Amino acid sequence: MELGNVKYEERLEPVSGRAVPVLKGETLRITQVDGEQCIDFNAFNLHDYKESMSVGASRRQGLRLHKGDVLISNAPRYNAMLLINEMPETCVTDTLGARCNAVLYEFRFGMEWHTNCQDTLAESIREYGLTPDDVHDSFNMFMNTTWDAKGAWWTDWNTGRAGDYVDLLACMDTLCVPVTCGSGDVTLVSNFSLRPLDIAVFEATPDSLARVAEIEEQFAAPLSRQGPADFRQPNIRVERELTRDPTYEQAFGRYPLQREQLTVSVDGATAEGLSAMVAAGYGNDLSDAARRAFMLWCQSNIGSVRRGDQSSSQRSRW
């Protein structure tokens, strides 16, 4: 994909970061200067800071994100924010570690205050009037975490090399916040060192905007996606104390549920199949087995049937 001219560039020295606007169609490039440096990353909608990148929502594509995956915004927006447009195989990504913080270093290492990503992110976004409370879980690049089947996880050696870079294509106007992770000197997340990163923003091109349009189509959900205009309570609280709204009345969606009993006739061969399912433990009785079998089929096929298209497998990645 053709990128435009460089409109902004800066070297991020160790334990620093920058909040930088990256508009729709523009590309943020983050480059390893010496290699082996973990990058922590936050992102906000430039026009509504309450919409920010959700590592949890993005993680639905996989516990590690790769080239071609998309960073998704928080509930209930679930918009495509940034496409990972270039990412070398040496960039192992992490969606588990959230971000390092001073409290962690105090109780793990007895340190009074250690450089950390929570505080570096908070200082970076202060330029735009945001607070430490507005820092969210970071998407971590060049962070080689791994895990076992019981759910334990740990960090391995950093595999980033000098010159490696990641390109993030903005699918909306964003405030991107890359920072150099501050844990590198005491953990192997950055191989016991703290190193710089280069950042650059490339202007949009017809090529990049066409790619954004493809992503928008891939994530289209016009019937369900909500924004502030859809919220029953649209106001952003300014008081920290929580108090009950005495006028509140519950209004859950499709509540209470409506249930309907359906009678389905099956032929002998199907009944035999259902009996085999029950014998194998898939269902408590024939009706239950029939319901499960049908719904298993629905999980894979109902999207394309209802929309009348063939894009179900592409969409189901998220």
- φ, ψ (nearest 5 deg) of residue 274: -65, -40
Shortest Å distance, C-beta 186 to Zn ion: 11
Size of interface with Zn ion, in residues (CB under 5 A): 4
Instruction: Check residue 100 for interaction with Zn ion (CB under 5 A).
Output: yes
Region of residue 229 (left: phi > 0; alpha: psi -120 to 50; beta: else): alpha
CB of 225 to Zn ion, least distance (A): 32
Q: Which of 117, 141, 143, 290 binds Zn ion (CB under 5 A)?
A: 117
DSSP-derived 3-state class of residue 197: strand
Question: In 110-185, which residue ranges form alpha helices assigned H by DSSP?
Answer: 117-125
Q: Is the peptide bond before 88 cis (omega within 30 degrees of 0)?
A: no
85 or 183: CB nearest Zn ion? 183
Contact region with Zn ion (CB under 5 A), list: 58-66, 151-159, 174-182, 308-316 = 174-182
Tell me the window of 62-70, 176-184, 229-237, 297-305 that interacts with Zn ion (CB under 5 A). Answer: 176-184
Residues 270, 274, 276, CA angle at the centre, nearest 5°? 115
Minimum distance, C-beta of residue 185 to Zn ion, in the bound complex (Å): 11
Which of 145, 183, 190, 208: binder of Zn ion (CB under 5 A)?
183
Of 32, 10, 33, 37, the residue nearest 21 (C-alpha): 10
- Closest distance between Zn ion and the C-beta of residue 95, in Å? 14
Segment near Zn ion (CB under 5 A); pick from 16-24, 81-89, 180-188, 251-259 = 180-188
Please give the single-letter amino acid code of residue 313: S
